[in-house]
C-alpha cells in the first residue's frame, strides 16, 4: 500500500477517506484538517489567546502540539482531579509535554480549590464521579479563561466523542443538549468564553496515529471512572457500524450539524443570568457550581474541619 501523495510505503490507512499516507503526508493531512476546521467554523484568529484543556490523553496533547506548531498562542490548563494513580500520571505527562515544547502549563488542583478530589466529591454529592467532575471542569475552564484574559477555550474532543455524545442525546431526545452540541460554541453571555473543538473531524485512532508519529507520550489508560460509561458503549457500537460501512460516523455527526442543529438552534431561547454568588452564567439565581461548593463546604465543616483531602481515597 502506497501513500496517495508520494511513492513511499504508507504507514496510516484511512478507510473512510479511501486514502493512505506515509508519515510526513499523514501529518500534513492532520494539520490541514485542523486549519480547515478552524477556518470553516471561524473558531479563532491568530491574535486570539487560546486556553487548551489538557487531560494528558492523546487528543488534548495532539491538539496542543498542532496549535503550537501552527504558531498560535496556546497555553495548557491541566486540572488535577485527585483520581489516584491516573491523575498522578496525567499530571506528569502534561508537565513533560509542556517542558519539551517550552510551553506554558497552568496547573490547578481540585483538592486545593474545593478541599477534595473527584472520588470524595462523588460520595458527598451522591452522584456518579463523572457528574461532579464534569461540572467542575466546565466551570473552571471558563472561569480561569476569563480571569486570565483568554479569548477562547479549546478541547481535544474528536469525532468518536462527538458521535457518541450525539447518539446518547438522540436516544434520549435531549433537545437542549442537541441544540448546544457544536464544535464551535459562541459566547452567549459576557462571562462566557467561546468554546471550540478543532479536532472534531478526526477519529481517536487518527489522533493516536498523530501522537505516535510525533513521538508524543500520552496517558493510554482510560480514567477508572469511565468504566461502564454509556459513552464507551456508544463508541463501541459506532465502531462496529464503521467497520462494516466506513464513513458512517462522520456522516452521522456532519449530517446532524448541517441538517438538524440549525433548526434546533432557532428554537433555543434560554436567557442566561449572572450567578448571585460568583457572577458566572446560569439559568437560575445561583449556579450549579456554587450550589455544589456550598454542599462541599458544609460537609467539610461537619466531617473534616482539618481538611477533607486526607479522607479522599
Q: Which residues contact ligand SF4 (rule: CB under 6 A)?
A: 81, 118, 129-130, 133-134, 223, 225-226
How deeply is 34 buried, as exposed, middle or buried, from its count of CB atoms within 10 A (0-12, 13-18, 19+)? buried
Q: How far is CA 170 from the centre of its chain?
A: 20
- Angle, in degrees to the nearest 10, between helices 204-214 and 23-40: 130
Q: Is 67 in the site for Zn ion (CB under 5 A)?
A: no
Q: Which does 290 bind (CB under 5 to 8 A by kind): ligand SF4, Zn ion, none?
A: Zn ion
Tell me how far, at minimum, the Cβ of 91 lies from ligand SF4, in Å: 13
Tell me how far, at minimum, the Cβ of 18 lies from ligand SF4, in Å: 34
What is the x/- site pattern for Zn ion, positions 13-42, by CB under 5 A? ---------x--x-----------------
The answer to whether the CB of 179 falls within 8 A of the CB of 263 is no
Nearer to ligand SF4, 125 or 213 (CB): 125
Nearer to ligand SF4, 152 or 219 (CB): 219
Helix, strand and coil content of the chain, in percent to the nearest 5, comes to 55, 10, 35
Nearer to Zn ion, 21 or 256 (CB): 21
The answer to whether the CB of 135 falls within 8 A of the CB of 296 is no
Nearer to ligand SF4, 81 or 93 (CB): 81
Q: Which does 226 bind (CB under 5 to 8 A by kind): ligand SF4, Zn ion, none?
A: ligand SF4
Tell me how far, at minimum, the Cβ of 156 lies from ligand SF4, in Å: 12
Nearer to ligand SF4, 6 or 226 (CB): 226
SS3 category, 194: strand
Q: Which of 222, 229, 204 is nearest to 85 (CA)?
A: 222
Q: How far apart are CA 246 and CA 51, in angstroms?
A: 33
Q: Which does 233 bind (CB under 5 to 8 A by kind): ligand SF4, Zn ion, none?
A: none
SS3 category, 262: helix
Name residues whose C-beta falls within 8 Å of residue 306's C-beta, 6 or more positions apart in sequence. Answer: none
Q: Which residues, numbered 247-286, are part of the site for Zn ion (CB under 5 A)?
A: 275, 277-278, 280
List of residues contacting Zn ion (CB under 5 A): 3, 5-6, 8, 22, 25, 275, 277-278, 280, 287, 290
Amino acid at each position: 500500500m502506497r501513500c496517495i501523495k508520494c511513492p513511499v510505503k504508507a504507514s496510516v490507512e484511512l478507510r473512510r477517506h479511501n486514502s493512505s499516507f506515509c508519515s510526513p503526508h499523514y501529518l500534513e493531512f492532520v494539520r490541514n484538517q485542523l486549519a480547515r476546521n478552524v477556518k470553516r467554523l471561524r473558531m479563532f484568529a491568530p491574535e486570539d489567546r487560546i486556553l487548551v484543556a489538557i487531560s494528558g490523553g492523546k487528543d488534548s496533547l495532539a491538539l496542543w502540539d498542532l496549535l503550537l506548531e501552527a504558531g498560535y498562542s496556546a497555553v495548557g490548563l491541566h486540572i488535577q482531579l485527585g483520581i489516584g494513580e491516573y491523575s498522578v500520571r496525567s499530571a506528569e505527562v502534561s508537565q513533560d509535554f509542556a517542558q519539551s515544547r517550552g510551553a506554558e502549563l497552568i496547573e490547578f488542583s481540585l483538592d486545593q480549590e474545593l478541599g477534595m478530589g473527584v472520588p470524595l466529591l462523588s460520595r458527598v454529592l451522591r452522584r456518579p464521579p463523572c457528574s461532579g467532575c464534569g461540572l467542575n471542569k466546565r466551570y473552571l475552564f471558563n472561569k480561569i479563561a476569563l480571569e486570565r484574559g483568554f479569548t477562547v477555550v479549546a478541547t481535544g474532543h474528536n469525532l468518536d466523542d462527538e458521535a457518541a455524545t450525539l447518539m446518547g442525546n438522540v436516544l434520549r431526545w435531549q433537545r437542549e443538549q442537541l441544540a448546544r452540541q457544536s464544535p464551535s460554541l459562541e459566547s452567549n453571555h459576557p462571562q462566557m468564553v467561546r468554546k471550540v473543538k478543532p479536532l472534531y473531524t478526526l477519529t481517536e485512532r487518527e489522533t493516536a496515529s498523530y501522537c505516535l508519529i510525533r513521538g508524543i507520550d500520552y496517558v493510554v489508560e482510560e480514567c477508572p471512572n469511565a468504566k461502564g460509561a454509556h459513552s464507551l458503549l456508544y463508541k463501541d457500537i459506532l465502531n462496529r457500524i464503521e467497520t462494516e460501512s466506513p464513513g458512517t460516523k462522520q456522516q452521522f455527526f456532519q449530517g446532524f450539524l448541517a441538517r438538524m442543529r440549525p433548526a434546533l438552534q432557532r428554537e433555543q431561547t434560554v436567557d442566561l443570568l449572572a450567578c448571585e454568588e460568583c457572577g458566572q452564567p446560569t439559568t437560575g439565581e445561583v449556579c450549579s457550581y456554587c450550589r455544589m461548593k456550598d454542599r462541599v463546604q458544609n460537609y467539610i465543616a461537619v466531617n473534616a474541619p482539618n481538611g477533607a483531602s486526607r479522607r479522599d481515597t
